Amino acid sequence: MRTIGLIGGMSWESTAEYYRILNESVRDRLGGLHSARVIVDSLDFAEVAALQSAGAWTEAGQLLADRAARLEQAGADLVVLATNTMHLVADAIQARLSVPFLHIGDAAADAIEAAGVTVVGLLGTRFTMENPFLVDHLSRRGLRVLLPPAQDRTLVHDVIYDELVQGVVREESRLAYAEVIDRLVAAGAEGVLLGCTEIELLVTPGWTRVPTFPTTRLHAEAAAAAALAP
């Protein structure tokens, strides 16, 4: 079994989900008392959020690349970044590594394609929805990505930062998200990509009338599979 290096803390709630899913996936594949070999480097999200708000993406990329390099030095055989938004600096991270970096966009695209979906709505932080890094990654795989209108993007972003990353899950926000999803479906979305790891705390499986693609689970399961691959 290969050792997974996990860059976490953005937020710690979603990182805890990654850790749980990684271990469950390895247990389910190997049985018995097996669990994943994981090295976790958990950042202080307040520092990262400040860089996001300031648009200091070069500095943020350097910070995460340094952490990725430390994980490799500590013995990680592959590296996973436990957040959608910070894949904006994925190139900087990959440039520092000699071990594989598992991009969240690839895990998402694989699942979307397997479901036979070609048009997907994207929910995430404002940084993820309004910067092209994830949309472009999916588009290169032949997928069409729909974004919510500006007012809905603000609502989705604010719920993530004001509630979900602080562990707050409100029924009112769940219903508001349902309306956003309905509008994406009306615009042509055949499925919805939950492009923020915390959104899965709010939008649960089977809760929508179109398929949802939870990036936390998809990414973590792909990492477990990679760790166990021949």
Active site residues: 83, 196
Token pair belonging to 55: 């648009």
CA distances 153 to 13, 105, 144, Å, are: 22, 20, 18
Token pair belonging to 3: 């050792």
Token pair belonging to 114: 């397997």
Q: What is the DSSP pairing of strand 191-194 with strand 119-123?
A: parallel
State the residue for tokens 């769940």.
Answer: 174
Token pair belonging to 210: 């179109």
Rounded-to-integer distance, Cα 122 and Cα 134, Å: 9
Q: How many CA atoms lie within 13 A of 51 on its CB side?
A: 19
